[in-house]
């Protein structure tokens, strides 16, 4: 039963596990926004597999697509051979890419996880440019393998030069978003153009259009365009890590679409697999310098994930769920800003589409309040709402509901949160 399973997991599984420790839930059933535990308790799941479940749990079109493959007798494992299932996935994905990239795109299947795709992207640009350095940003999260970890915030820096993300200039220097973006842009330019103290020309620059794990920090559109200009002018491939922002999450199909930026490489995972493991990079064909076998991997042809992903991408496109996420996200952000006006412990409300963050602070000092954020998560859990924490200090409560969220569900999520915050602050 419920308690025995939790007890055995605590004994057998590494303490490195994350969600299991903060969420003492043994999920046995799930549909849409709702998860049901072995103890019969039901939760509204605004973690969504860390932003993976664009259509929520067990969406009928996803189940049907997976069953279709299972019932067809098609092979489930064929390395990276061509199959009708893969062909359909690639066709649907390319139909949704920024047109300027789709016109000239190559795809590489990378293995099950976002980290695998980040690694492939880093290796690709290093191979294509013959250079080794990488520019990445403070607060970034790109994965947990050595190369991906180097690019993430808070990791030991080996070959990575870390640049300030615009939000860094928010509080400490008391400047607004536009000025912060301007300062961050100049910082990057100065570093690249300074022959003495700067950095050698790097192999690439990797950026999340909205930082997720870093605490829901949307890249200002103008700043992202500047990054595009700065990299294009110097022949530096721009890598957009859309692992979390892709497939409608931010209120546009891709996070870069808000700024109209076309990256050289897009890193995709999470939602593109329709809740099953799938990760790819898509990039300008000029970068396709691989020789056959240069980047191999056994699990890069997950047929079930491709079928689930095709169904998800098509459903998001046909039902205009990116637009829906934009509208609903704006409404939720407005409601949360209203809530914040009555609760000085909510220091900031930010986000884009259905990628939303509330930063908890000490009302007296304005300092990040991770203990309070953890208490909010706990109070949410007790009210049947699953949220996640993020941000440099773990003080940002994150909401990543499915794009299929109804108005009523959004209201229920907001109600529970509005209840949980004063309870945690007490």
List residues near ligand PMP by CB under 6 A. Answer: 50, 113-115, 118, 141-143, 208, 212-213, 241, 243-244, 269
Residues 6+ apart with CB under 8 A from 298: 79
Closer by beta carbon to ligand PMP, 164 or else 363: 164
Closer by beta carbon to ligand PMP, 213 or else 264: 213
Closer by beta carbon to ligand PMP, 50 or else 261: 50
Cα–Cα distance for residue pair 337/341, rounded to 1 Å: 6
- Tokens representing 169 are 């200039």
| Shortest distance in whole angstroms from residue 142 CB to ligand PMP | 5
Residue 253 burial (C-beta neighbours within 10 Å; 0-12, 13-18, 19+)? buried
Closer by beta carbon to ligand PMP, 119 or else 379: 119
| Shortest distance in whole angstroms from residue 119 CB to ligand PMP | 9
| Shortest distance in whole angstroms from residue 144 CB to ligand PMP | 6
| Shortest distance in whole angstroms from residue 211 CB to ligand PMP | 8
* DSSP at 156: P
Closer by beta carbon to ligand PMP, 37 or else 51: 51
Q: Helix 303-318 crosses helix 60-72 at what angle (to 10 degrees)?
A: 140
Closer by beta carbon to ligand PMP, 57 or else 398: 398
| Shortest distance in whole angstroms from residue 323 CB to ligand PMP | 23
Residue/partner pairs of 319-326 with CB below 8 Å, 24 or more apart: 321/54, 321/248, 321/403, 321/404, 322/248, 322/251, 322/252, 322/253, 322/353, 322/403, 323/251, 324/248, 324/403, 325/248, 325/249, 325/250, 325/251, 325/353, 325/354, 325/403, 326/251, 326/252, 326/353
| Shortest distance in whole angstroms from residue 112 CB to ligand PMP | 8
Backbone angles phi, psi at 67, to 5 degrees: -60, -35
């Amino acid at each position: 039963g419920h308690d025995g399973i939790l007890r055995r997991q605590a004994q057998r599984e590494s303490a490195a596990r994350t969600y299991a420790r903060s969420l003492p839930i043994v999920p046995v059933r799930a549909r849409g926004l709702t998860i049901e535990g072995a103890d019969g308790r039901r939760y509204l799941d605004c973690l969504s597999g860390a932003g993976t479940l664009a259509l929520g749990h067990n969406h009928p079109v996803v189940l049907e697509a997976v069953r279709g493959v299972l019932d067809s007798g098609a092979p489930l494992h064929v390395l990276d051979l061509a199959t009708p299932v893969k062909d359909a996935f690639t066709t649907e994905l390319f139909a949704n890419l920024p047109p300027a990239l789709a016109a000239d795109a190559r795809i590489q299947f990378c293995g099950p996880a976002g980290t695998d795709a980040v690694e492939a992207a880093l290796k690709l640009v290093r191979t294509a440019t013959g250079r080794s350095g990488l520019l990445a940003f403070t607060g970034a999260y790109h994965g947990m393998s050595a190369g991906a970890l180097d690019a993430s915030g808070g990791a030991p820096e080996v070959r990575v030069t870390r640049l300030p993300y615009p939000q860094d200039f928010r509080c400490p220097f008391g400047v607004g978003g536009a000025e912060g973006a301007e300062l961050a842009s100049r910082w990057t330019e100065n570093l690249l153009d300074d022959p003495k103290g700067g950095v050698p020309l790097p192999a690439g620059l990797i950026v999340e259009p909205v930082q997720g794990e870093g605490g829901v920090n949307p890249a200002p559109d103008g700043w992202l365009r500047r990054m595009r200009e700065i990299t294009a002018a110097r022949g530096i491939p721009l890598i957009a890590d859309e692992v979390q922002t892709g497939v409608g999450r931010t209120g546009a199909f891709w996070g870069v679409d808000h700024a109209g930026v076309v990256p050289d490489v897009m890193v995709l995972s999470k939602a593109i697999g329709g809740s099953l493991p799938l990760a790819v990079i898509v990039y300008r064909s000029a970068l396709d310098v691989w020789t056959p076998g240069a980047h191999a991997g056994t699990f890069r042809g997950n047929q079930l994930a491709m079928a689930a992903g095709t169904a998800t991408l098509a459903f998001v496109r046909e039902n205009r769920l990116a637009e829906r996420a934009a509208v609903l996200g704006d409404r939720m952000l407005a409601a949360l800003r209203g809530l914040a006006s009555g609760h000085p412990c909510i220091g900031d409300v930010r986000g884009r589409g259905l990628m939303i963050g509330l930063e908890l602070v000490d009302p007296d000092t304005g300092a990040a309040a991770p203990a309070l954020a953890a208490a909010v998560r706990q109070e949410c859990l007790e009210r049947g709402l699953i949220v996640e924490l993020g941000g440099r200090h773990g003080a940002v409560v994150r909401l990543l509901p499915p794009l299929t969220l109804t108005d009523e569900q959004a209201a229920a999520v907001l109600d529970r949160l509005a209840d949980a915050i004063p309870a945690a602050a007490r």
